[in-house]
Amino acid sequence: MSFRWPVRVYYEDTDAGGIVYYANYLNFFERARTEWLRKIGFNQEVLRQQGILFVVRDVSAKYRRSARLDDELEVSVQVEKLGKASFNISQSVYRIGDEKEELLVNGYVSVACIDSSGSPRAIPADIINTINN
């Protein structure tokens, strides 16, 4: 299942030169993953109240081109591997233009499922089933 979320670059996302600060792409990744979970029926606040938390274990990003102030972007989410208590996601950020889209950043995020005490826990079956379908 592939998912995309639109993002607009605001002044707060940029450095003094009007270019998106590199760490803010991780924020864009996070927003897209949150909206992807919401789209497939799982609100992170509701999950948290049930003692189900998703935390990033590992992240990598390859920066290809810079986004700039006021750019329209789309951030993709694609589950690559789903395990019992974790999953790996590839994410990309694209600049959306009138006639084409341009790849700006590729990323890879490993996410673990933990309980409210911070211990690893199995991803609930309903979430696994939804992701697999």
Residues annotated as catalytic are 15
19: CB partners within 8 A, 6+ apart: 66, 67, 68
Rg of the chain over Cα atoms, rounded to whole angstroms, equals: 16
Give the dihedral of Cα atoms 28, 30, 31, 36; nearest 10 deg.
120
- Amino acid at residue number 26: L
* Residue found by looking up tokens 């792409």 in the block: 25
> For 123, which DSSP code?
P
Residue 81's nearest CA partner among 108, 106, 118 is 108
